[in-house]
Amino acid sequence: MSRFPFRLAAALLAFVLAAPAFAGKTLDTIKQRGTINCGVSTGVAGFSAPDSQGNWSGLDADTCHALAAAVLGDAKKVNFVPLNAQQRFAALQSGEVDLLARNTTWTLTRDASLGFHFTTVTYYDGQGFLVPKKLKITSPKQLKNAEVCVQSGTTNEKNVADYFRAQNIKVKTVVFEGFEASFKAFFAGRCQAYTTDVSGLAGLRNKEAKNPDDYVILPDLISKEPLGPLVRRGDDEWFADVKWVIYALIEAEENGLTQANVDEQKANSKDPVVQRILGTSEDTGKLLGLDKDWAYRAIKAVGNYGEIFERNVGPKSVLKLPRGANNLWSKGGLIYAPPVR
């Protein structure tokens, strides 16, 4: 047999291996601009919300702070762009924002048809219902003929319709374009139930209700809501940067690296895994278009994934949510990162 097919295959392999690993200019643009434009919610407690001075905090906001620390050397170099559910995808498509970190559910339609890549899951959630205790409702199946408030343009709107149709239960969904309008209508008595992700329900009950004890989150979940940041397709370098900064924060928790001890560990640790994460033995940053201290700066700025969770949505926060599925894989949860290696 001729050796030509083998020579052709070898040539193609050499071409692939020699080709640039990355495409796109987002990272260069961010470095030249000096800030990351981060699309966030208009205010969801625990995920992204501004204080009275305009300082943003939350699990999603900390993702953006960590990226700014890793890429630009300063966690404060973030331009937070508040976006409602209807605006968010157009803002990312147009380039108004560099990433969307806005408690957004990863679905097939969004992943395959909008020109985006979801990077990784930062919070495993599910849709539920908030109801007044006085109604003595213990399951959404008891909401027959009830009015349910929901925000338009969200997976919640579709999920609630699918759920009650499957259960053959008639309800009336009262749809609002804005998030604030939807929950204010519920607390004003417009609807007998409010539906969104359970993390959002916890924030609303604890921060927006006049008396949080007057409301209960029903135990039933009607959907899977894996939440995480997304970026535009066509820029492999930026896609990799966002993923690996998040993975580094998860790896930090797995290996006992915290915001408080990261300096000491960087100076003294002999653990090969810790040394790789912190850039003291290998320079993984050059594979990402960053320097060797990228992960160290991210951890120093916001702490590891567990610290971010506890501070923003965990039992010690206003949301008081358990780790549950958002615990590390080694502790029975779903949070798992590929190795920084």
Average pLDDT for residues 315-319, to the nearest whole number? 89
The residue assigned the tokens 């969307």 is 100
Lowest mean pLDDT among 127-131, 142-146, 230-234, 316-320: 316-320
pTM of the full predicted structure? Answer: 0.87
Phi, psi of 214 (to 5 degrees): -80, -5
User: How far, in Å, CA of 135 to CA of 119, rounded?
Assistant: 41
- In this prediction, residue 17 has a pLDDT band, given cuts at 50, 70 and 90, of very low
What pLDDT, on the 0 to 100 scale, is given for residue 316?
87
Q: What is the mean pLDDT of residues 167-174?
A: 96
Q: Is residue 12 scored above 60 in pLDDT?
A: no
**For tokens 């958002």, what's the residue?**
326
Q: For residue range 96-137, list pLDDT tens digits in order.
A: 999 999 999 999 999 999 999 999 999 999 999 999 999 999
DSSP lists the bridge partners of residue 127 as 197
At residue 7, the pLDDT reads 47
| CB distance 37 to 96 below 8 Å | yes
- Segment 22-80, tens digit of pLDDT: 446 999 999 999 999 999 999 999 999 999 999 999 999 999 999 999 999 999 999 99
In the block, which residue shows the tokens 């939350």? 58
Element counts in the chain: helices (H) and strands (E): 13, 14
CATH topology of domain 26-124+227-331: D-Maltodextrin-Binding Protein; domain 2 (3.40.190)
Encoded amino acid at 31, one letter: K
pLDDT attached to residue 24: 64
Quote the pLDDT of residue 57: 97
**Could you give the percent of the chain with pLDDT greater than 90?**
87
3-state secondary structure at position 317:
coil
Q: Is the pLDDT of residue 273 over 80?
A: yes
Q: CA torsion sign, 192 to 197 to 200 to 202?
A: positive
Q: What integer pLDDT is reported at residue 153 of this predicted model? A: 87
Query: What rounded mean pLDDT belongs to the chain?
Result: 92
Name the architecture of domain 127-223: 3-Layer(aba) Sandwich (3.40)
Q: Is the pLDDT of residue 8 over 50?
A: no
- Across 149-170, average pLDDT: 94
Q: Would you give the end-to-end CA distance of the chain in angstroms?
A: 42
* Residue limits of CATH 3.40.190.10 in the chain: 26-124+227-331, 127-223
